[in-house]
C-alpha cells in the first residue's frame, strides 16, 4: 500500500515537472531573452555564438540539474531507477553503430538542403575555429545527455512503473513531439518515429545511453556536414 502511494506521488511530481520544465525552457528561449545581461559586452558573431552555448547550458539546467535534484531529494528511488546505469554496454554500442550506419548517409543527403542550412549549424559564425568546434561539440553533448535523462530517463521510467510499456511509450512520444513544435512542423512530425525508436531501445537496454549516443551522432553529424555545405561559413583549424 505504501509503495503504491509512493508510485502515485512519483508520477505526479514527474509529470508536473516535465510540463513545467519544457514550458519554462521554451518560454525563456522564445520570449524572455534571459542572456541579455550576460552578453551585454559582446556583439555580432561573438554574442550570437555565446548565446547558443548559453541556450544549451540553460537546457542542461532545466532538463538535467533540476530533474536530478528532484530524483535525489524528493523521490524515493535512486538514479539507477531512471536508466542511468549502462547495463548492456556491448548491445548499446552495437545499436549505436547500426544507428550511425543508417543516420549518417541520410544526413549526408539532407544536410545540404536549403531548409536544413537555414537552421544548421546553429552557430551562424562566418569563421569556425577549433575552439568553436570543440565547445559546440561539448555543449551539444552535455545538453543531449541532460535531454535524454529528462525524456528517456526521468519521464519514461517513471511512466513505465506506473502505467506499463505501451502507455509509457505513447506518453513519451506525445510529449517529445510537442516539445519540438517550436522547431517547426518537420521536426515535430519526425520526433514521433524517432521517439518510438529511442523509447523501445531504452527499454530494451534498460538505460538512457543508447538514446544519448544516437542523439549525439545525429546532432554532431548534422552540424559538421551542414558546416561543410554552408557557403557562408569557413572552417579554420590551426594547431
Instruction: Measure the CA dihedral 64/67/69/70, to 10°.
Output: 180
**pLDDT for residue 28:** 83
Crossing angle of the two packed helices 2-27 and 66-73, in degrees rounded to 10: 160
pLDDT in tens, 56-114: 999 999 999 999 999 999 887 789 999 999 988 999 999 999 999 999 999 998 888 88
Provide the grid cell at 6: 509512493
Contact 111, 222 (CB under 8 A): yes
Full-model pTM = 0.92
CB 224 within 8 A of CB 113: no
Q: Are the beta carbons of 86 and 209 closer than 8 angstroms?
A: yes
Helices (H) and strands (E) in the chain, counts: 10, 2
**What percent of the chain lies above the pLDDT cut of 70?**
92
Band (pLDDT 50/70/90 cuts) for residue 147 is: very high
215: β partners = none
Average pLDDT over residues 106-127: 88
In whole angstroms, what is the distance from residue 140 CA to residue 52 CA? 10
Distance CA 168, CA 46 (A): 42
Amino acid at each position: 500500500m505504501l509503495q503504491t502511494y509512493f508510485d502515485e506521488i512519483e508520477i505526479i511530481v514527474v509529470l508536473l515537472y516535465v510540463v513545467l520544465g519544457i514550458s519554462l525552457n521554451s518560454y525563456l528561449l522564445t520570449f524572455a531573452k534571459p542572456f541579455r545581461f550576460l552578453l551585454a559586452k559582446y556583439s555580432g558573431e561573438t554574442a550570437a555564438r555565446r548565446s547558443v552555448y548559453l541556450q544549451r547550458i540553460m537546457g542542461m539546467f532545466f532538463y538535467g540539474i533540476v530533474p536530478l535534484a528532484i530524483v535525489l531529494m524528493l523521490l524515493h528511488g535512486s538514479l539507477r531507477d531512471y536508466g542511468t546505469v549502462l547495463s548492456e554496454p556491448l548491445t548499446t554500442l552495437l545499436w549505436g553503430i547500426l544507428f550511425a550506419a543508417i543516420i549518417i548517409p541520410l544526413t549526408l543527403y539532407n544536410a545540404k538542403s536549403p531548409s536544413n542550412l537555414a537552421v544548421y549549424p546553429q552557430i551562424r559564425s562566418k569563421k569556425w575555429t577549433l575552439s568553436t568546434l570543440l565547445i559546440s561539440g561539448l555543449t551539444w553533448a552535455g545538453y543531449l545527455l541532460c535531454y535524454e535523462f529528462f525524456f528517456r530517463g526521468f519521464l519514461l521510467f517513471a511512466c513505465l512503473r506506473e502505467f506499463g510499456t505501451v502507455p509509457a511509450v505513447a506518453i513519451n512520444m506525445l510529449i517529445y513531439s510537442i516539445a519540438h513544435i517550436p522547431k517547426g512542423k518537420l521536426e515535430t512530425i519526425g520526433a514521433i518515429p524517432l521517439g518510438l525508436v529511442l523509447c523501445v531501445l531504452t527499454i530494451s537496454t534498460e538505460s538512457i545511453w543508447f538514446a544519448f549516443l544516437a542523439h549525439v551522432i545525429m546532432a554532431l553529424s548534422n552540424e559538421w556536414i551542414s558546416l561543410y555545405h554552408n557557403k557562408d561559413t569557413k572552417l579554420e583549424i590551426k594547431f
